[in-house]
Amino acid sequence: MLFGKALIANRGEIACRIIRTCRRLGIATVAIYSEADRRSLHVELADEAWTVGPAPARDSYLAIETIIGVARRSGAEAIHPGYGFLSENAAFAEACAAAGVVWVGPPARAIRAMGSKAAAKALMGRAGVPLVPGYHGDDQSPDVLAAEAGRIGYPVLIKASAGGGGKGMRVVERADALAEALASAQGEAHASFGDDRVLIEKYLARPRHIEIQVFADTHGNIVHLFERDCSIQRRHQKIIEEAPAPGIDPARRHAMGDAAITAARAVGYAGAGTVEFIVEADRFYFMEMNTRLQVEHPVTEMITGLDLVEWQFRVAAGEPLPSRQGELAARGHAFEARIYAEDPDRDFLPSTGPLAHLRQPRETKQVRVDTGVRAGDTISPYYDPMIAKLIVWSETRDAALRQLAAALGEYEVVGVRTNLGLLRAIAGHPAFARADLHTGFIRRHPETLATASGGNERTVLAAAALAVLADERTGTERVSAGDGWSPWGMADAWRLNAEGYQDLLFSDGGGDAVTVRAWPQGDGSTLLDLPGARVRAEREDGCFVRLDGVRQRLPVVRRGPELTVVVDGSNHVLHLVDRFQPPRGETKADSRVTAPIPARVSRVLVVPGDIVGKGAPLLVLEAMKMELTLAAPRDGTIGAISRAPGDMVGEGEELVTFAMAADGAT
């Protein structure tokens, strides 16, 4: 019998996803939230919601005793940990059992066995699962690690032993780069998992990342639900997944499925899990086993028609698996694209701030959106910067890819930087269309990082000009509300003995400013003099504009003088220039290092008085589950350091300044 009430020990789209299944099954839901998530979507969707502490995850979503206390007081019979946070924490699983609350996940012993990548690989080796050549030992001294890397042969891959999701992972091409990469990987691993141990493996030059979804019950039954290709990655983290993996012949599919079941059986598994393999040419190797449901599980659901969260609850309630291996079948093809608030032009630096405008594709049987945010919500610096997951399905890979491209074209986000341009470029790339997949896809195809797309200068300028004119008209209407004859209520650019027009000056931050001359017409339209052409323009209700009779969707989001015009999902930013504002003077090169995003100072690598060269690492910030190293902008001497490890800093806050020379130069 299923549970009457379950607590979801997670947030965002994860919690929203689980709530959706619970509603269908008639399970009441208890959400938890930090102070930063007080008005989040998952809080509103749950039947009840309890606060668990301040914004930092370690004080809220990772506070085991607090969460267990909420479960007791709320009467929750089970705890679903989602994926991320405490989902692979054996101590949390044991705490649930001790409190008499059912843990919706694998046994603690299985979590521990797979929680250490090194121990997991040793166990898999004994079970006969193929492994990548590498070092998985306990001796973590730099000399031993360097010797093992030399034995394996460069390039090598450093991986956090207790980690996942690309945290604590570094590729090292040469022996002289090992020490710095090792320190960085260990620091990130400790910050993310509280464990700085690493393992070293041979780095495969052109691998595919293919994983097998497995499920086991407490009655000895284990099945696999086919494979997913997760090769399209940035920072060793997946951004596009698909199922089934293209180009996998039946014999290899069968062998990988058997190996995954062998891995699950070797640890006495129960519940949902994912066995990840690295594949190159005709060989596959065990990489790791994630003892939880994966972020990309929806593509498996789309090709099987199953609800894997429902299976998790049924297994946790003691029921046998709903299906046996021979009863499972995959149909069609599915893609998942992860939409992140990040800037691909700045090495995928997370982007924070309010979602000033958000439009998602309409959901159908073939298009699904898993999200935890709405327009007006804020992407904070405390958690993963994912906005949503877009999942599409169709009968064939080609048809599904067309669905993906069309749905990505419908997505509109203004307020934060996103990876939507990158995702669209990948979906439309010929190499991706022919399934030439590998984990270095973006690096080998740097053209996918180009951000310019969609729209033309005239279209963008016309939409921006109409938006400004509409705002001014609204403002004058307010002025004249109390006096219908007020001359200040007229917005028709009237001139004595001359034609009425209005000049608007726009800058895109790059070249010279462009003037748009607007001529109001008696029929409500406006003639716009644009570079090289004159068009008749009309702004209609909502986000539509008619240009010379052609109606287009051109949303414009205005924030002060900044206007963002969205053309086919791509953002084009213009600034309305105040013609009477004096121009800014030239400034000297900045001799300060500031925080690019809100973050926590993880490590300080210099002290006042140090002489550094341009590009030298100065300090390391931690934000949104990643580390960011700030480098010296030029040669010089460190003057002052304003923050220490553990300090929280805001965007734009000064962290390091350079010393001033005797002649006053810096």
Q: Give the H or E element holding residue 533.
A: strand 533-539
Question: Between residues 31 and 456, which one has the greater pLDDT?
Answer: 31
Pairing of strands 599-604, 592-594: unpaired
Q: Answer for the pair 360, 560: CB distance below 8 angstroms, yes or no.
A: no
Residue 482: pLDDT over 80: no
Summarize pLDDT for 238-284 with one digit per residue, the tens.
999 999 999 999 999 999 999 999 999 999 999 999 999 999 888 89
Q: How far apart are CA 98 and CA 3, in angstroms?
A: 18
pLDDT number for residue 588: 46
According to the CATH classification, is domain 457-476+500-576 in 3.30.700.30? yes
Average pLDDT over residues 83-100: 95
pLDDT single digits (tens) 632-654: 988 999 999 999 998 888 888 99
Dihedral of alpha carbons 62, 287, 235, 183, sign: positive
Query: How far apart are the C-alpha atoms of 153 and 631, rounded to whole Å?
Result: 30
Q: What pLDDT sits at residue 587?
A: 45
For the chain, the helix, strand and coil percentages under 3-state DSSP, each to the nearest 5: 30, 30, 40
Residue 549: Cβ within 10 Å count: 8
The residues carrying an active-site annotation are: 292
Within a 10 A sphere around the Cβ of 282, how many other Cβ atoms?
8
For the segment 626-636, the average pLDDT, to the nearest whole number, is 86
* pLDDT > 90 fraction of the chain, expressed in percent and rounded: 70
Q: What residues contact residue 37 under an 8 Å CB cut-off, 6+ apart?
A: 11, 12, 43
* CA 430, chain centre distance (Å): 24
Fold agreement between 133-202 and 592-658:
no
In this prediction, residue 494 has a pLDDT band, given cuts at 50, 70 and 90, of: low
For residues 148 and 136, what is the distance between their CA atoms, to the nearest angstrom?
Answer: 10
CA–CA dist 185, 336 (Å, integer): 28
Average pLDDT over residues 594-620: 89
Percent with pLDDT over 70 in the chain = 92
Distance between CA atoms of 556 and 553, rounded to whole angstroms? 10
pLDDT at 212 over 60: yes
Q: Domain 133-202: give its CATH architecture.
A: 2-Layer Sandwich (3.30)
d(CA 164, CA 88): 10
pLDDT digits (tens, 9 = 90+) for 138-178: 899 999 999 999 999 999 999 998 876 677 889 999 999 99
Q: Can you tell me the distance from the alpha carbon of 138 to that of 198, in angstroms, rounded to the nearest whole number? A: 9
Q: Give the residue extent of every domain in the chain.
A: 5-104, 133-202, 208-449, 457-476+500-576, 592-658
How far apart CA 655 and CA 597 sit, in angstroms, is 12
pLDDT, tens digit, 9 for 90 and up, residues 297-354: 999 999 999 999 999 999 999 999 999 999 999 999 999 999 999 999 888 888 999 9
Q: How far is it, in rounded angstroms, from Cα 103 to Cα 30?
A: 14
CB 506 within 8 A of CB 514: yes
CATH of 5-104, one of 3.40.640.10, 3.40.630.150, 1.20.1260.10, 3.40.50.20: 3.40.50.20
Q: Under DSSP, is residue 1 helix (H, G, I), strand (E, B) or coil?
A: coil
Neighbours of 306 (CB within 10 A): 18
Spatial separation of the C-alpha atoms in residues 125 and 118, rounded to whole Å = 11
Tokens 């093992």 belong to residue: 148
Average pLDDT of the chain is 90
What's the pLDDT at 345? 87
H or E element: which one contains 19? helix 12-25
Q: Round to whole Å and give the CA distance between 192 and 353.
A: 23
| pLDDT tens digits along 432-453 | 999 999 999 999 999 998 765 5
What is the structure's pLDDT at 586?
Answer: 43
Return d(Cα 156, Cα 204) in angstroms, integer.
Answer: 8
Q: Which of 114, 115, 79 is nearest to 100 (CA)?
A: 79
Among 655, 659, 464, 500, which residue's Cα sits nearest to residue 577? 464
CA–CA distance, 194 with 533 (Å, rounded to integer): 62
Average pLDDT estimate for 64-88:
97
Class of CATH domain 592-658? mainly beta
Strand duo 78-80 + 5-8: pairing: parallel
Predicted confidence band of residue 600 (pLDDT cuts 50, 70, 90): confident
Position 592 scores a pLDDT of 86
pLDDT of residue 584: 52
Q: What is the rounded CA–CA span in Å between residue 173 and residue 156? A: 7
395, two tokens: 């009968």
CATH architecture of 208-449: 2-Layer Sandwich (3.30)
Cis upstream peptide for 596 (omega within 30°)? no
Cα–Cα distance for residue pair 558/440, rounded to 1 Å: 38
User: Amino acid identity of 599?
Assistant: A
**What's the pLDDT at 68?**
98
Which run of H or E residues covers position 48? strand 48-53
Q: How far apart are CA 620 and CA 627, in angstroms?
A: 7
The most confident of 71-80, 252-261, 556-565, by mean pLDDT: 71-80
Q: What are phi and psi of 662, to 5 degrees?
A: -65, -30
Which of 342, 216, 236 lies closest to 291 in space, CA to CA? 216
At 20, list the tokens. Answer: 């959706």
For 522, what's the count of Cα atoms within 13 Å in the CB-facing half-sphere?
A: 1
- Do 439 and 233 meet the contact criterion of CB atoms below 8 Å apart? yes
pLDDT of residue 585: 47
Locate 215 and state its tokens. Answer: 């499920």
Burial 315-354 (b: 16+ CB within 10 A, else e): bbeeeebbbeeeebebebbbbbbbbbbbbbeeebbbbbbe
Amino acid 487: pLDDT: 56
